[in-house]
Amino acid sequence: MRDVRVGAPVTPLRWALSVAAGVLAIDQLTKWWAAETLPGDPIVLIDGVLELRYVTNAGASFSMLQNAGTLIAVVVIAVVVFIVMLVRKIATVPEAVGLGLVLGGAVGNLVDRIVRGPGLFDGAVVDFVDFSFFPAFNAADSAITIGAVLILLLSLFRK
């Protein structure tokens, strides 16, 4: 009997790239929905605590570095290149998932900077999850945070 294989082996690199692609798709779909549905009419989920509200951010995290799109984009591109180089060298799936989350989130917000403005990197990132006590964020921001925490926890508990 012959050995019949379906597809290539699932390596950590494939895991990372698959997770990144999934995050990018979810991020862009939710931002499209927010831009089409929420401007001028937020959805209150928990009164005084949580709303889905369309906001844009031309800066970095927590609205720092407003209108520094090119600088932010160059830093993000460098981070993306670093993550892609790093993910080729990792050996475990959990690390790959963490890096994939960060990679997908970084690319998701970079896409906004490229396509949502008048110039190449002048676009503003769409945010729409708005807790009253925290700056608004999006799926990409969540993926970056979860991925970073996962990577940190894995490094702390590595034998």
| Active-site amino acid positions | 127, 141
**Coil, strand or helix: which one is 83?**
helix
| Buried-exposed string 4-21: b where 16+ CB fall within 10 A, e elsewhere | eeeeeeeebbbbbbebbe
62 token code pair? 């927590």
Rounded CA gap, 129 and 127, in Å? 6
